[in-house]
Amino acid sequence: MQKNSIKEATIKAGKGLWKAFPMILGTILLISLISVSIPKSFYTTVFSKNIFLDSVIGSLVGSISAGSPLTSYIFGGEMLSQGVSLLAVTAFLVSWVTVGMIQLPAESAILGKKFALLRNITAFVLSLIVAIITILILGVII
Amino acid sequence: MKFRDKLKSLSGSWYFLGTIILIYILVSIFNQEIYLKSLDFFSQIIYKVIPVFILVFVLMSLTNYFITPKFIMKHLGEKGIKKWFFIVVGGVLSTGPVYMWYPLLADLKNKGLSYGLIACFLYNRSIKIPFLPLMILYFSWQYIGVLLLVMIFMSIVQGISINKLMGVAPLGVSPKGTRSQKQEVKNENSYSIRRKNAR
């Protein structure tokens, strides 16, 4: 196995984090502003405590969002602290990382339109299923 | 480099950060209370995530050091169930932006890798080992463990579904479909044999 040198590996990691830095910093700033300005009751209005509707809303929001997964964890964690259900947050997290609306043109061009569309549609549907199964399992083991 | 060229070279995320800072400036002018409270909230989050980011950086460096695309691609030519296992592991261990992997996957597709295996690989790319500390900071160990296991299982479900939807038989079994579908499976099998012979 041909390894990268330690220096190369560290530089690559630094570059990766630096690339995500403005998006993460901007997201934390935005979350701070939203958390302070919008009352918690707003989230409970959007997420209605309906198991299916909540996960659909979470998946939709996650699907149209883009950026590093690090951002989604921070955003998801703060959503949870604002009273949004774990089900909706899970659907949001999974669709954020598995549905790639931003990369869709590149994926279509290189791997084929039919494949790219099918992959993203199934990833969206699976984000709902993953969220429901995860919460059901957690409900049993905790 | 001219100022205009420098601006053009900036990525969209820097514009996003710039816009947020501009919003903060406007808020500081029109509502000092919200501005100060937001900064306080911001500092609380930053204080919480900085140690985790240091750990993330170390884990990313280690992943970059030990795992290379060459190492992952070496194991994608396995057969049957073993192939799915290596695809899952390869997807989890792969690093870098997803679009960097498209040309490599397209090349493997031409050499016979099925669409389902590509979908499975891409799904597992969403599991980032170096980012686990941050996930655990916001969620519990149990939650992360269950979520990751369910996601790995669903990546295989997606792979099999994609194979069916695209008309490719799973695990390289001869399909009852069209000539092109049969050719695809034939390519996949011949690719596995070539990899085996090469080894």
- A45-to-A39, A83, B95 alpha-carbon distances in Å: 11, 11, 38
pLDDT, one tens digit per residue, over B104-150 is 788 778 767 889 999 999 999 999 888 888 888 889 889 999 999 99
**Percentage of chain A modeled with pLDDT above 70:** 90
- B140-to-A75, A82, A89, B99 alpha-carbon distances in Å: 16, 17, 13, 31
Q: b vs e for A25-39, b when ≥16 Cβ sit within 10 Å of the residue's Cβ?
A: bbbbbbbbbbbbeee
The residues in A 63-102 lying below 8 A from B, measured between CB atoms, are: 67, 69-70, 73-74, 76-78, 80, 86, 90, 93-94, 97-98, 100
pLDDT category, B23, cuts 50, 70, 90? very high
pLDDT at position B167 is 83
Residue B93: alpha-carbon gap to chain centroid: 9
pLDDT category, A21, cuts 50, 70, 90? confident
CB atoms within 10 A of CB A79: 24
Interface membership of A60 toward B (CB under 8 Å): no
pLDDT, one tens digit per residue, over A91-100 is 999 999 999 8
pLDDT category, B37, cuts 50, 70, 90? very high
pLDDT, chain B, mean:
79
DSSP letter string, B127-171: --GGGHHHHHHHS-HHHHHHHHHHHHHHHHHHHHHHHHHHT--GG
pLDDT at position A124 is 95
pLDDT at position B196 is 52
Per-residue pLDDT at A136 exceeds 70: yes
Tokens for A4, please give them.
């990268």
Per-residue pLDDT at B27 exceeds 90: yes
Residue closest to B94 by CA, chosen among B118, B117, B71, B119: B71
Residue of chain A nearest B142, judged by CA positions = A138
What gap in Å lies between CA A116 and CA B77, rounded to an integer? 22
Per-residue pLDDT at A117 exceeds 60: yes
Contacts of A32 in chain B (CB under 8 A): 38-39, 41-42, 45
What gap in Å lies between CA A136 and CA B6, rounded to an integer? 51
pLDDT, one tens digit per residue, over B41-66 is 899 888 888 887 888 788 888 877 87
